Amino acid sequence: MLSMKAFAVLGLVVALAACERKPATPPKAPVEASVTTPKAAAPAPMARPLSFDQSDEAAKVALRLPAEIASHPALHALLYDRETAGLKTFAAKAAADRKASDGKFPWRPYTRQSQWFLAVDSAPLVGLRALWFEDTGGAHPNHGGSTLIWDNVANREIQPNALFRPDADMAVLDKAICDAVAQAKTHRAGATPLNDMFACPKWNQTVLVLAPSTIPGKIGGLTALIDPYVVGPYAEGDYEVVVPASTFQGLLAPAYAGAFGGAPKSPGNPDGTLSVRMDVVK
């Protein structure tokens, strides 16, 4: 049997062992699954107005856009912002000129107006055309046409040369436009025949607009807008001629060749006068 002293020693060992025992590790809190927040999509462009007007003692400027452009927000934003920036720059130049005149002569406010029209909305392309008018007090006002071609798939503007293959023989389109202008001149009273001074323009010296087709959803050709002074004196005015898609189908880039087909919905006016008119803002 253990003596009382042995019991005392044994108790001391047990007590010391109890003091050195580490406390139990508390259970870890469950780890929550990480949640990846998806990136927010790029915000759609804020809706722009269809018109812009600014008028003061120095200048009067105005912009009009077609209602259909609201269906293409990015295109709408690009065109509105670009056009209004140009008009504001024009108005600022008018203000500077007025200040520089220092009251030496009666000031007649400068004017500039631009009006856009929908020409074609046939996937993947949207075509717009414009008329612009500008008067800065010279011998006569100036006017002309503009174009914009929009790729709805890429959601961006493209230049007319993007419609064609890089290796395309563009002399085919040059000749088609030249022949159309020569033919239109035969219907216009007092028109100056094409000559060394007023020669045929190259295709890229004209304003090319997409032309609607007789086949729904297709583009039937190209409308070439030619400003005054290019193929005749200022008094002769503008020319607008239409070239069927069949004339240049073989020149088209593969990305856009399928968008063209059929014939132009309208051949245009026989004398080459414009098929649209600007609503002059008073």
The range of the structural domain enclosing residue 222 comes to 51-257
Q: Which pLDDT score is estimated for 141?
A: 87
Query: What pLDDT, on a 0 to 100 scale, did the predictor assign at position 192?
Result: 94
30: pLDDT strictly greater than 50 = no
* More reliable by pLDDT, 102 or 184: 184
Prediction pTM value: 0.81
The answer to whether position 159 is within a domain reads yes
| pLDDT of 75 | 97
Can you give the pLDDT at residue 44?
63
For residue 26, tell me if it sits in a domain: no
What percent of the chain is predicted at pLDDT more than 70? 84
CATH number at residue 198: 3.30.565.40
Decide if 264 is inside a domain: no
Q: Is residue 266 part of a domain?
A: no
Span 112-131, pLDDT tens digits: 999 999 999 998 999 999 99
pLDDT band at 47, cuts 50/70/90? confident
Query: Has residue 5 been placed in a domain?
Result: no
- The mean pLDDT value for 71-78 works out to 96
Tell me, yes or no, whether 38 lies in a domain.
Answer: no
Residue 223's pLDDT is: 98
Number of separate domains in the chain: 1
Residue range 170-191, pLDDT digits in tens: 999 999 999 999 999 999 999 9
Amino acid at 213: S
1-5, 52-56, 127-131, 153-157: least confidently modelled range = 1-5
pLDDT of residue 42: 58
- CA distances from residue 186 to 55, 62, 234, 239 in whole angstroms, order as listed: 42, 36, 18, 13
Q: Is the pLDDT confidence value at 15 over 50? A: no
Q: Where are the beta strands (DSSP E) in the chain?
A: 51-55, 59-64, 110-122, 125-135, 142-151, 156-158, 207-212, 219-226, 239-244
Mean pLDDT estimate for the chain: 87
Q: What is the pLDDT of residue 221?
A: 98
